[in-house]
């Protein structure tokens, strides 16, 4: 009985990691351990709000270093969608909207948004000159 309790307690991070890795086998193991008849899809559905809440912020990663996170977001959501076929993600997520919003709020940061990156002075001056050249206010 210890393994099912452990899998149940860790289902959200386990399902999130499996979605990021595209690992249906791990989800199938979790479903079998928990006695879920629908296999990997049922395991995913049991933690869908937490998985989607973990994947969504990855799309906003910035810069060159953020490219891997943006790709992980795309691959993770594609994997989730593939397990939910023939139903689409918005249809499956709609009845879980309250849980999804709660999961997103729990993942939100209370720190202030970072300031926009500083631009070099020549670039700012060139933009101001161009805007005045076409009659736009600076």
Is the four-CA dihedral 55, 59, 63, 67 of positive or negative sign? positive
Q: Which of 24-38, 41-55, 84-98, 111-125 has the lowest mean pLDDT?
A: 111-125
Distance between CA atoms of residues 13 and 9, nearest Å: 9
The separation between CA 134 and the C-alpha centre of its own chain, rounded to angstroms, equals 41
47 with 16: CB under 8 angstroms?
yes
With 70 as the cut, is the pLDDT of residue 13 above it? yes
81 with 91: CB under 8 angstroms?
no
pLDDT in tens, 17-39: 999 999 999 999 999 999 999 89
pTM for the full predicted model = 0.71
Nearest CA among 18, 25, 11 for reference residue 76? 18
């Amino acid at each position: 009985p210890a393994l099912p309790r452990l899998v149940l307690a860790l289902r959200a991070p386990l399902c999130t990691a499996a979605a990021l890795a595209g690992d249906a086998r791990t989800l199938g193991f979790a479903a079998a351990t928990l006695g879920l008849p629908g296999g990997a899809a049922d395991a995913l559905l049991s933690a869908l709000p937490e998985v989607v809440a973990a994947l969504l912020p990855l799309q906003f990663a910035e810069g060159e270093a953020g490219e891997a996170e943006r790709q992980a977001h795309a691959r993770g959501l594609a994997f989730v969608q593939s397990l939910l076929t023939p139903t689409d993600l918005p249809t499956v997520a709609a009845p879980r909207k309250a849980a999804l919003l709660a999961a997103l709020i729990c993942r939100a940061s209370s720190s202030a948004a970072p300031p926009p990156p500083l631009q070099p002075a020549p670039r700012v001056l060139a933009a101001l000159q161009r805007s005045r050249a076409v009659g736009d206010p600076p």
